A and B are shown apart, each in its own frame.
Chain A
Amino acid sequence: MKLLAATLGVLSAIGGFVDIGDLVAASQAGARFGMGHAWVLVLGVVGICAYAEMAGRIAAVSGRAVFDLVRERLGPRVALLNLAASYLVTVLTLAAELGGVALALQLASRVSYLLWVPVAAFAVWLVLWRMRFQLMERVFGLAGLTLLVFALALFWLPTDWAALGHGALHPGTAGQGWGAYWFVAVALFASTVSPYEVFFFSSGGVEENWSAADLADARSSVLIGFPVGGLLALSLVATATVVFHPGGVSLSTLDQVARPVVLAFGGVGLAVAALAFFAVTFGAALETGLSAAYAAAQYFGWQWGKRVSPREAARFHSVLLVSVLAATLLLSTTVDPVRLTEYMLVASAVVLPLTYLPILVVANDRTYLGDDVNGPWLNLLGAVFLLVIVAASVAALPLAVGTGMGR
Chain B
Amino acid sequence: MGPLIIFDHISPFTNLLLAFIVGIGFGFVLESSGFSSSRKLAGMFYGYDATVLKVFFTAAIVGMLGILFLSLFGWLDLSLIYINPTFMSSAIVGGAIMGAGFIIGGFCPGTAFCALSIGKLDALAFVGGLVIGVLIFTEGFQLWEELYKANNMGIPTMNEVLNIPRGLFALGLIIVALAMFWVAEWAEKKFPREEY
Whether chains A and B associate is no
Chain A residues engaging chain B, CB cutoff 8 angstroms: none
